[in-house]
């Protein structure tokens, strides 16, 4: 653990990352994850939403928060004889283009805004197939929109006067603060929810979440008990450690959280979700791994 | 100062939504009487579901709780469609619906989980509520099942009848079952037959 921490610290300090560079890394990482995940969704987009999808768009939207926003849009398309399949294909192309432009930092803020709109239109049109990852991508794009993520590692940088010194971010309006606070709420609330369920203290919850029709290796129930209990304790302690002054403790916490998400990604197959959570944690606490 | 205000409002409201969601899940799971919390829930709903804030939460992606994999962890659920000919002989059965990506099948299984919760809510529908609402909810379930089945049935010319079932895996208690990892107990939430 110490070797991992020391090696990462050396590597990251060699990159000379300041605030603007690290939030640019956030932008690029979010865009890459979004593109990779969406490429996977595109393979079966016709089943999820099209003129011949498994559920008609109206039925899919009926029980959702987004009906009032999206029904007028789809009703308009139908009134103009524009097929849903064509619309979704066009939106998909638009989404990928705006993501690429956001990633390379070309008119970054405008590109991110358009990518966010496209993400909302596409994924909120299929609310029955959304899970936590989709909300996290929306949140990530929103944070990219409001913070200056396009000022480094971007085409936009060439258009600016690079001689200008950038001010330090205001504490209450810094992407780092926002990510730390948001993650603290996410993990703490998730930890509370786990803590009030006995299954998270006896290991049953782990088995309930991973069990599928396929085969699974046998693990001693005591090991599952340890994993689930530690998960609860780690999540509940997250905000206290995240905002404590003990850097070493924060490093240990983040490394464990990252391993937890890697495990979730591999065992539950939620690789996109695991990736975005790892990015959030790494960016929120990069200072603990680069600064002495 | 304005940044500080935005920070506290943004995260304050996220915290309220998250905590309320966990409290309601806890009360539902333990079958507690939520009527005492009706006033609080309505006040919070009025505060948070006004058009301005509701639109903001949708745009920012913050219209979600964080109790997933929390109270009463959801078990694996899936739809299964069986296709029958005019003599009611089984032609074929599927639970993958032609998805080419495991990731997308996992997305489709989110619908299975949501429908399971919806069906349970229908079964526990309060007698004091409008019965027409329950009727509408049951009709919604039937329509969703019908469309899922029809999607497969239309691929098979000989199909005359189809049955759609929502199954759940019922994992064993790891402390009581020594073979918990190989025991496969499956239960059905709902099963509906349709004729083409």
- pLDDT grade, residue B1 (50/70/90)? confident
Q: Does B22 touch chain A (CB under 8 A)?
A: yes
pLDDT for res B24: 82
Mutate to test the interface with A, among B27, B70, B167 (most CBs of A within 10 A): B70
Give the pLDDT mean for B135-160. Answer: 95
Encode burial over B133-158: b for 16+ CB neighbours within 10 A, e otherwise: ebeebeebbeebbbbbbbbbbeeeee
A190 contacts in chain B (CB < 8 Å): 66-70
Chain B, residues 158-187, CB within 8 A of chain A, namely: 169, 171-175, 180-182, 184
pLDDT for res A241: 95
Mutate to test the interface with A, among B102, B150, B170, B174 (most CBs of A within 10 A): B174
pLDDT for res B33: 65
Give the pLDDT mean for B100-125. Answer: 93
- pLDDT grade, residue A2 (50/70/90)? low
Give the pLDDT mean for B154-182. Answer: 93
- pLDDT grade, residue B73 (50/70/90)? confident
Residue A165 scores a pLDDT above 60: no
Residue A43 scores a pLDDT above 70: yes
Tracing tokens 């768009």 back to the chain, one arrives at A57
Residue A15 scores a pLDDT above 70: no
Per mean pLDDT, which range of A55-59, B4-8, B157-161 is the poorest? Answer: A55-59
- pLDDT grade, residue B37 (50/70/90)? low
Residue B158 scores a pLDDT above 90: yes
Q: B118–A47: do the CB atoms touch at under 8 Å? A: no
A135 contacts in chain B (CB < 8 Å): 61-64
Compare all CA atoms of chain A with the CA of B152 and give the residue at the minimum distance: A54
pLDDT for res A121: 95
Per mean pLDDT, which range of A13-17, B32-36, B138-142 is the poorest? Answer: A13-17
Q: Does B128 touch chain A (CB under 8 A)?
A: no
Q: Report phi then psi at B69, rounded to 5.
A: 55, 40
Residue A213 or residue A255, greater confidence: A255
How far apart are the CA of A2 and the nearest CA of chain B, in angstroms?
31
- pLDDT grade, residue B108 (50/70/90)? very high
pLDDT for res A124: 93
pLDDT for res B38: 65
pLDDT for res A16: 59
pLDDT for res B34: 60
Q: B103–A185: do the CB atoms touch at under 8 Å? A: no
pLDDT for res B25: 84
pLDDT in tens, A239-267: 999 999 899 999 999 999 999 999 999 98
pLDDT for res A26: 98
pLDDT for res B128: 83
Q: Does A65 touch chain B (CB under 8 A)?
A: yes
- pLDDT grade, residue A162 (50/70/90)? low
Residue B116 or residue B28, greater confidence: B116
ipTM: 0.91
pLDDT in tens, B119-145: 999 998 888 888 999 999 999 999 999
pLDDT for res A44: 96
Chain A, residues 123-162, CB within 8 A of chain B, namely: 124, 126, 128-132, 134-142
- pLDDT grade, residue A13 (50/70/90)? low
- pTM greater than 0.95: no
Mean pLDDT of chain A: 90
pLDDT in tens, A60-80: 888 788 888 899 999 999 999
How far apart are the CA of B116 and the nearest CA of chain A, in angstroms?
12
Chain A, residues 190-219, CB within 8 A of chain B, namely: 190, 192-194, 196-197, 199-200, 202-205, 207-209, 211-213, 215-219
Tracing tokens 């990069």 back to the chain, one arrives at A286
- pLDDT grade, residue B80 (50/70/90)? very high
A59 contacts in chain B (CB < 8 Å): 140, 143-144, 147
């Amino acid at each position: 653990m110490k070797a991992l921490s020391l090696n990462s610290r050396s590597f990251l300090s060699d990159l000379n990352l300041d605030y603007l560079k690290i939030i640019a890394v956030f932008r690029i990482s979010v865009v890459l994850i979004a593109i990779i995940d969406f490429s996977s969704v595109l393979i079966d987009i016709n089943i999820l939403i099209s003129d011949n999808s498994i559920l008609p768009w109206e039925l899919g939207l009926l029980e959702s928060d987004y009906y009032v926003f999206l029904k007028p849009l789809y009703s308009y398309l139908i009134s103009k004889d524009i097929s849903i399949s064509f619309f979704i294909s066009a939106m998909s192309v638009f989404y990928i283009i705006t993501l690429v432009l956001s990633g390379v930092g070309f008119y970054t803020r405008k590109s991110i805004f358009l990518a966010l709109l496209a993400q909302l239109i596409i994924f909120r049109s299929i609310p029955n197939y959304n899970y936590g990852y989709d909300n996290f991508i929306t949140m990530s794009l929103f944070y990219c929109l409001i913070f200056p993520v396009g000022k480094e590692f971007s085409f936009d940088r060439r258009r600016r006067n690079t001689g200008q010194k950038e001010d330090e971010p205001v504490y209450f309006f810094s992407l780092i603060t926002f990510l730390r606070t948001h993650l603290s709420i996410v993990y703490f609330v998730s930890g509370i929810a786990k803590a009030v369920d006995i299954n998270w203290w006896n290991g049953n919850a782990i088995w309930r979440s991973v069990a599928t029709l396929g085969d699974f290796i046998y693990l001693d129930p005591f090991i599952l008990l340890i994993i689930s209990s530690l998960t609860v304790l780690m999540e509940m302690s997250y905000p206290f450690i995240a905002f404590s002054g003990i850097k070493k403790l924060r490093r240990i916490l983040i490394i464990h959280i990252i391993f937890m998400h890697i495990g979730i990604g591999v065992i539950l197959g939620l690789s996109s979700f695991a990736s975005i959570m790892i990015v959030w944690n790494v960016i929120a606490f990069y200072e603990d791994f680069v600064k002495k | 100062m304005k940044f500080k205000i935005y920070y506290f409002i943004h995260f304050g409201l996220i915290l309220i939504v998250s905590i309320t969601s966990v409290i309601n899940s806890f009360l539902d799971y333990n079958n507690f009487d939520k009527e005492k919390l009706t006033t609080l829930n309505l006040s919070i709903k009025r505060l948070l579901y006004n058009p301005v804030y509701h639109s903001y939460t949708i745009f920012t992606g913050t219209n979600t709780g964080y109790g997933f994999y929390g109270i009463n962890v959801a078990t694996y659920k899936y739809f299964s469609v069986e296709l029958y000919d005019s003599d009611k002989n089984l032609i074929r059965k599927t639970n993958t619906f032609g998805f080419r990506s495991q990731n997308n099948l996992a997305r489709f299984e989110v619908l299975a989980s949501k429908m399971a919760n919806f069906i349970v809510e229908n079964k526990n529908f309060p007698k004091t509520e409008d019965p027409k609402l329950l009727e509408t909810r049951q009709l919604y379930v039937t329509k969703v099942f019908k469309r899922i089945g029809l999607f497969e049935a239309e691929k098979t010319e000989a199909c005359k009848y189809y049955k759609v079932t929502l199954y759940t895996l019922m994992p064993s208690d790891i402390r009581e079952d020594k073979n918990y990892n190989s025991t496969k107990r499956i239960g059905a939430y709902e099963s509906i037959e349709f004729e083409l």
